[in-house]
Amino acid sequence: MSASTVITILELAGLYVFATSGALMAVYKGFDVVGIVVLALLTALGGGILRDLIIGATPPAAFTELSYLVVPLLAAVVTFFAHGLVHRLTFTVLVFDAAGLGLFCVTGTLKAFDFGLGPLQAVLLGITTAVGGGVLRDITARETPALVQVETDLYAIPAAAGAVIVAVAHEAGLPVPAVAVGAAALVFAFRLTAMLRHWTAPRARHHDASGGRDVS
């Protein structure tokens, strides 16, 4: 299987799971069918559109590939009729978001390499692709984005780890298909473990006005 085929498969899978997380968030917030579709599309396509604009891949794939619109719409329709999951939506949103995080950090990094970017730039673009849609989803749903929530479970760090693995493997000439799938799975497991164990990133120490030290 070629690298381009792997990227396409992972990208479509990422679109579906990210769109599902957006649609579930919309149902959880009580949005109507229009809101469900809008949130699904924003979550699925936001990070990829930002990535494509940065690297000059215009028009973005979301506007040139029909499947990039059909897959998120399909996810929105399926979610709209899956009302039996409502009582479990909060955790389900996070599970689908974790899956999208893993898939998109990989595809974003690989596409950056396809456009001639260096390893560091590719890692940054992989992270941007992974977190961009989730940030747009949370802002539109009037939630503090998971990326910057105080005491939030690790979010960008798992995406960064996956992007770094892909970048190192690419530079070392390792087989892309196996590394891409493995990295996506690792990020998914990393993010889920962080949620279940409530791992958080370290915070800076600062001194309060009275001279005592506080952790923030």
Exposure letters 91-126 (e unless 16+ CB within 10 A, then b): ebbbbbbbbbbbbbbbbbbbbbbeeebebebbbbbb
Task: With respect to residue 214, please indicate whether it lies within any of the assigned structural domains.
Answer: no
pLDDT for 86: 52
Task: With respect to residue 11, please indicate whether it lies within any of the assigned structural domains.
Answer: yes
Residue-number span of the structural domain to which 55 is assigned? 3-201
Task: With respect to residue 76, please indicate whether it lies within any of the assigned structural domains.
Answer: yes
Tens of pLDDT, residues 191-211: 999 989 988 888 777 655 555
Q: What's the domain count of the chain? A: 1
Give the chain's length: 216
Rounded to 10 deg, the angle between the 156-172 and 119-140 helix axes is 150
Q: Is the peptide bond before 175 cis (omega within 30 degrees of 0)?
A: no
Q: Quick one: average pLDDT of 53-77?
A: 92
**Which tokens go with 1?**
């299987």
Residue 78 CA to residue 81 CA, distance in Å, equals 6
pLDDT for 84: 63
Tens of pLDDT, residues 133-146: 989 999 999 988 87
Task: With respect to residue 212, please indicate whether it lies within any of the assigned structural domains.
Answer: no
Under DSSP, the state recorded for 205 is: E
Q: Quick one: average pLDDT of 154-166?
A: 93
24-38, 89-103, 111-125: lowest mean pLDDT where? 89-103
Under DSSP, the state recorded for 59 is: S
- For residue 216, what pLDDT band results from cuts at 50, 70 and 90? very low
Report the chain's mean pLDDT, rounded to a whole number: 87
Task: With respect to residue 207, please indicate whether it lies within any of the assigned structural domains.
Answer: no
CA angle 92, 103, 119 (to 5 degrees): 140
Q: Are 170 and 119 in contact (CB under 8 A)?
A: yes
Task: With respect to residue 50, please indicate whether it lies within any of the assigned structural domains.
Answer: yes
pTM, full prediction? 0.84
Instruction: Provide the residue type at 59 as one letter.
Output: P
Q: Quick one: average pLDDT of 1-29?
A: 85
Task: With respect to residue 177, please indicate whether it lies within any of the assigned structural domains.
Answer: yes
Task: With respect to residue 213, please indicate whether it lies within any of the assigned structural domains.
Answer: no
pLDDT for 177: 83
Distance, CA of 6 to chain centre: 17
